Amino acid sequence: MALAEDELLRRLRRSDARAFAQLVDYYKDMVINLIVRMRGIAEDTEDLAQEVFLRVWKGLPEFRGDAKLSTWIYRITINLCIAEGKTARARAQFLPAEDVALWSHPSMHTEAGNPYSEEAPLKARLARLIPQMPEKYRTAVTLYYLKNLSYFEIGEIMDIPMGTVKSYLFRGKAWLRERLLPNEPTVERS
């Protein structure tokens, strides 16, 4: 589904509830997945996503349209995740990814993956590692792999130059590789 952004913005600025519902419907999965990748699955994931959309709604009168609507929403999500992470660091104990209960949170369900595939344990370890990455690397890697955003768009969201985005991605992947594949034998994949 594609939305005509200027038409949607025009309706949102008229406080059109249906337009806001359309916006939430379009971005809800993306926002939830961005939050989950940034923080790991937690009880309050949906509450945080809800807070993102409330901030979008309240912030609409000040949104000048300099950036794309999507860029603005992702920026709000990232900032909220970072702020939440700082205030809740003491209790930020992420559940182990292999815990089955983690994936059966009542409000969310995952697309069925094969839990018996060779890569399943690695994926589970990766899901647990990402929320522990240094904040700037985590943000760059998450945005790049979640939505295939360009270096330019990631730079706009993080407010950094494109060269720095590339550097964060490189270092972020190196950080992950060191912890995920420390002595992993070379995997030959066709």
Partner 1 sequence: MTHDEALTRLSDFLYGNLPRDEHQSITLMLETDSELRRAYEEERLLDGLLRTQEWIHVRPDFTTRVLAHAGLPVPHGETVLEGFLERLSAYAPIGTFAVVILFYGQAIVPRLWSMWRGVLDWTGTAIGVSTLPTSPAFAATSLALLAVAVVLSFELGRRGQSSF
Residues at the interface with partner 1 (CB under 8 A):
2-7, 17-18, 20-21, 24-25, 28-29, 32-33, 36-37, 41, 46, 49-50, 53-54, 57, 68-70, 103, 107-111, 113, 119, 122-123, 126-127, 141, 145, 169-170, 173, 176-177, 180-181, 184, 186-189
78 class by beta-carbon count within 10 Å (0-12 exposed, 13-18 middle, 19+ buried): buried
Tell the smallest beta-carbon distance from residue 120 to partner 1 (Å).
Answer: 10
Q: Which is nearer to partner 1, 154 or 169 (CB)?
A: 169
Tell the smallest beta-carbon distance from residue 18 to partner 1 (Å).
Answer: 4
Tell the smallest beta-carbon distance from residue 160 to partner 1 (Å).
Answer: 18
**Structure-block tokens of residue 107:** 């409000």
Q: Which is nearer to partner 1, 90 or 106 (CB)?
A: 106
Q: Which is nearer to partner 1, 86 or 115 (CB)?
A: 115
What single string gives the DSSP state of each residue in 49-92? HHHHHHHHHHHGGG--SSS-HHHHHHHHHHHHHHHHHHHTGGG-
Q: Which is nearer to partner 1, 69 or 78 (CB)?
A: 69
- Closest C-alpha to 139, from 51, 87, 77: 77
Cα atoms in the Cβ-side hemisphere of radius 13 Å centred on 8: 18
Tell the smallest beta-carbon distance from residue 90 to partner 1 (Å).
Answer: 26
**Structure-block tokens of residue 55:** 């901030």
152 class by beta-carbon count within 10 Å (0-12 exposed, 13-18 middle, 19+ buried): exposed
Eight-class DSSP state of 157: H
Tell the smallest beta-carbon distance from residue 178 to partner 1 (Å).
Answer: 10
